[in-house]
Amino acid sequence: MNYKNITVAGSGVLGYQIAFQTAFHGFNVTVYDINDEVLEKAKGKFEIMSSAFKNDLNASQEQLDDTYQNLSYSSNLEEAVKDADLLIEAVPENPQLKIGFYEQLAKVAPAKTVFATNSSTLLPSQFASSTARPEKFVALHFANEIWKHNTAEIMGHPTTSPEVFNDVVEFAKRIGMLPLPLHKEQPGYILNSLLVPLLGAALDLVVNEVADPTTVDKTWMKATGAPVGPCAILDVVGITTAYNINKMAAEKTQDANKIKVVNYLEENFINKNKLGVATGAGFYTYPNPAFQKEDFLK
């Protein structure tokens, strides 16, 4: 594995975390997004990341200064990938959007560049033909707050090169992740195969007025000893991601309850810009959510 230059496409909930984590571990990282205004917002998020790395990892100021030296920014895709050994795509969880991105990327990326999607639910085989280099295409999925929950699920598709797969596993190790290789394509990978049913069940309980979000979370936390409940997890994942996943499922199945969930999320969160931790409000308000208070379970 001789990766040195990494491009991260998308500076949203996970994109900026991936970029900072990778730069922290000594790689040259170019952050790409659709315009300079979005990139400026990403720079602000990196300030928050610096504090988290100091608090959670005891990172030194020298390490953080080096991290910033390793970061660069571009809203020009061709410029952003001109030296890339690996491009990690972290654009919104929308199949058509991803296909369009890969078709554009394939025209400008060097032949050497390996592509990896950070999709949380979609399969690499859905996009492989759009990349024009299916043998150099894998999924590389990170959990949120990746500096703490440092997992990296690596999943190929039927024509992924074994060498490329192994190189991405090694890359994951080098940026401080626990690599979790999957031997077959699986919607939801490992983590979300376990997590999505939990979050879906929580939303069903809420939208059908069986219990309010706080009670759902209290139940899960008290009964299992978990540090947070599913509604709090939805805030971390991002309400937009949950909305997109449920919307795709609703459109595919026309399931009445899925449609109800989509309408609930749209009316109560999306339309009000209550998108979770990233906007300071979701099921809870941040930075001091109710579930972190000492008396929450009393």
Condensed to tens digits (0 to 9), the pLDDT of residues 13-67 reads 899 999 999 999 999 999 999 998 999 988 888 988 999 999 999 999 999 999 9
Mean pLDDT of 105-124: 94
Instruction: Report the pLDDT value the prediction gives residue 159, as an integer from 0 to 100.
Output: 96
What's the mean per-residue pLDDT of the chain? 95
Q: How confident is the model at residue 96 (pLDDT cuts 50, 70, 90)?
A: very high
Instruction: Report the pLDDT value the prediction gives residue 158, as an integer from 0 to 100.
Output: 96
Per DSSP bridges, beta strands 151-155 and 137-142 are antiparallel
Mean pLDDT of 180-202: 92
**Percent of the chain scored above 90 by pLDDT?**
85
Mean pLDDT of 60-84: 96
Radius of gyration of the chain (CA): 19
Residue 109 is classified by DSSP as S
Instruction: Report the pLDDT value the prediction gives residue 44, as an integer from 0 to 100.
Output: 86
Angle at 233 between CA 229 and CA 236, to 5 degrees: 145
Mean pLDDT of 266-279: 95
Q: How many CA atoms lie within 13 A of 19 on its CB side?
A: 31
Instruction: Report the pLDDT value the prediction gives residue 12, as an integer from 0 to 100.
Output: 85
Question: Are residues 8 and 90 in contact, defined by beta-carbon separation less than 8 angstroms?
Answer: yes
Question: Are residues 165 and 154 in contact, defined by beta-carbon separation less than 8 angstroms?
Answer: yes
CA nearest 239: which of 259, 256, 223, 262?
A: 262
pLDDT tens digits for range 123-181: 999 999 999 999 999 999 998 889 999 999 999 999 999 999 999 999 999 999 999 99
Could you tell me the pTM of the whole model? 0.79
Q: How confident is the model at residue 241 (pLDDT cuts 50, 70, 90)?
A: confident
| Spatial distance between the Cα atoms of 186 and 226, rounded to a whole number of angstroms | 26
